[in-house]
Amino acid sequence: MPRFAMLGAGFIGSVHARNLAEHPAVDFVGIHDPDGARATDLAVRNGTRAIDVDEAFDPSSVDAVLIASSTDTHATHLRRAAAAGLPTLCEKPIDLDLGHAVEVVSEVGSTGPMMVDFNRRFDRDYAELHRAVRSGEVGNVELVSMTTRGPALPPLEYIAVSGGQMRDQTVHFFDLARWITGEDPESVFAAGSVFTDPRMTELGDVDTSVVTLRMPGGTLVQIDSARRIAYGYDERIEVLGSEGLIEAGRQRVGSVTRYQPGRLVTDGMHAGWFERVAPTYRKALDHFVDALESGTPVGPTLNEALKAQAIAEAATRSLSTGDLETVNYPALATAG
């Protein structure tokens, strides 16, 4: 049973802590956070203890590390985990700066199992869509339509350090586009607007965007992203192929429909992104733990994360320039 240490006791840390504590094949040895009181509180709630950073990376006490700390610490923690020979599951991104992320991967990429938690891959419906598309059920993929829409604009303090909509929100769907089609986009065009807080413009960001990716085989992928909608949280993917169409549709909170004179009343959307995707965090952990026990590969890998980030960089440039931008993949990313 692998012994896990976790770094980070914020919101996403609390999600991972609960999953680690409830996992039957994990020995959850402790939580580290610079805020010791916060680490202790989360540890007590999940049947473990607060630990210092040295113990979190001590291979005599720990077999694997889960990095759920602030984004600006991911690179440092990945380096330290690699130096200790510890398999690692890390929240995205490796680092907001692509160049720095490439440096990190060049240092740690061959040291052992390293996985980036692009958890949307572990959504039940998306996984089945991926299986069906890659097995040829819809023939040659010609057009992919994706939607990612959130219920409310995050705090501007978060937006300011998030890297922008392409790197923070849409990047999950850049990863899904590659994963589902099996191709790496050649070029990207992005257009965006601000409909919520005008201060978003001062931050160089948008709250609503449409991105078009062109794949080497001619497949087109369209992704619409919105930070604020009036009806809940909304995701979906549709793949049109030469022999049919497959869709992972919008998920509602229930499936009850009321038939009333002149109208139908159905259940609405999830209140927020977490309510919609919460199960995927546990499934991603399941995959990582199973891979450690069986010796099978983990994924998404660091190199796959670099590819998604490279697409996000090109999309961010396109938002700024208004031009079609070529996706420049780091040489390291060609390996995965």
Q: What is the pLDDT along the chain (336 residues), one digit of tens a residue?
A: 999 999 999 999 999 999 999 999 999 999 999 999 999 999 999 999 999 999 999 999 999 999 999 999 999 999 999 999 999 999 999 999 999 999 999 999 777 899 999 999 999 999 999 999 999 999 999 999 999 999 999 999 999 999 999 999 999 999 999 999 999 999 999 999 999 999 999 999 999 999 999 999 999 999 999 999 999 999 999 999 999 999 999 999 888 999 999 999 999 999 999 899 999 999 999 999 999 999 999 999 999 999 999 999 999 999 999 999 999 999 875 544
**What is this structure's pTM?**
0.94
pLDDT, residue 336, reads 47
**Could you give the CA distance from residue 158 to residue 124 in angstroms, rounded to a whole number?**
29
Token digits for 3?
């012994």
Beta-carbon contacts of residue 336 (< 8 Å; ≥ 6 apart): 301, 302, 303, 304, 307
**Could you give the CA distance from residue 76 to residue 155 in angstroms, rounded to a whole number?**
26
Closest by alpha carbon to 293, among 83, 54, 107, 24? Answer: 24
**Could you give the CA distance from residue 127 to residue 149 in angstroms, rounded to a whole number?**
20
pLDDT, residue 335, reads 46
**Could you give the CA distance from residue 90 to residue 69 in angstroms, rounded to a whole number?**
9
Q: Is 191 helix (H, G, I), strand (E, B) or coil?
A: strand
pLDDT, residue 331, reads 85
How many Cβ atoms sit within 10 Å of the Cβ of residue 267? 11
Beta-carbon contacts of residue 55 (< 8 Å; ≥ 6 apart): 5, 30, 32, 61, 62
Tell me how far apart the terminal alpha carbons of the chain are, to the nearest angstrom. 28
**Could you give the CA distance from residue 10 to residue 57 in angstroms, rounded to a whole number?**
19
Can you list the alpha helix ranges (DSSP code H) found in the chain? 11-22, 36-45, 53-56, 74-83, 98-108, 124-134, 156-162, 165, 171-181, 199-202, 273-294, 302-321
